[in-house]
Amino acid sequence: MTTALLFPGQGSQTPEMRDTVAQVRPDLLAMAIEVVGEDPFARVDDGTRFAQPAIFCASLAGFAALDDSVRADARFTAGHSLGELGALVAAGVLAERDGLELVALRGALMQEAGETAGNGGMIALLGADAAQRADEVARPHGLSIANDNSPQQVVLSGLSSALPGAEQTAKELGLRAMILPVTGAFHSPLMASAVPAFEQALARVEIHEPQLTVLSAVTAEPFDDVRARLAEALTGPVRWRELLLALHARGVQRFVEVGPGKVLTGLVKRTLKDVELVNV
Per-residue pLDDT tens for 102-125? 999 999 999 999 998 889 999 999
* Per-residue pLDDT tens digits for 168-202: 999 999 999 999 988 899 999 999 999 999 999 99
pLDDT at 267 over 90: yes
Residue 130 has a pLDDT of 97
For β-strands 74-79 and 3-7, DSSP reports them as parallel
Residue 193: count other Cβ atoms within 10 Å of its Cβ.
Answer: 16
Residue-level pLDDT at 118: 87
Q: Stretch 269-274: mean pLDDT, rounded?
A: 96
pLDDT confidence tier of residue 14, bands split at 50, 70 and 90: very high
Residue ranges of domains in the chain, CATH in brackets: 3-116+188-279 (3.40.366.10), 119-179 (3.30.70.250)
* Spatial contact of 253 and 162, defined as CB atoms under 8 Å apart: no
Sign of CA dihedral 58, 269, 213, 226: negative
280 has pLDDT over 90: no
Handedness of CA 144, 146, 149, 153 (dihedral sign): negative
pLDDT value, residue 183 = 83
- Rounded to an integer, the average pLDDT of 222-241 is 98
- pLDDT, mean over the chain: 96
Residue 273 has a pLDDT of 95
Identify the pLDDT of residue 60: 97
Catalytic residue, from 187, 188, 216, 248: name it.
187
Least confident window among 50-54, 64-68, 77-81: 64-68
* Residue 84 confidence (pLDDT) above 90: yes
For the chain, what percent of residues have pLDDT higher than 90?
Answer: 95
Is the model's pLDDT at 237 over the cut of 90?
yes
Give residue 73's pLDDT. Answer: 93
pLDDT of res. 196: 98
pLDDT at 82 over 90: yes
Active-site residue, from 12, 59, 80, 81: 81
H helices of the chain, in order, are 17-24, 26-36, 48-64, 68-73, 83-90, 96-117, 130-138, 163-172, 195-204, 226-232, 240-249, 263-271
Residues present in the chain in total: 280
pLDDT of residue 193: 96
Would you say 6 and 252 are in contact if contact means Cβ atoms under 8 Å apart? no
Catalytic residue list contains 81:
yes
Give the per-residue pLDDT at 20. 94
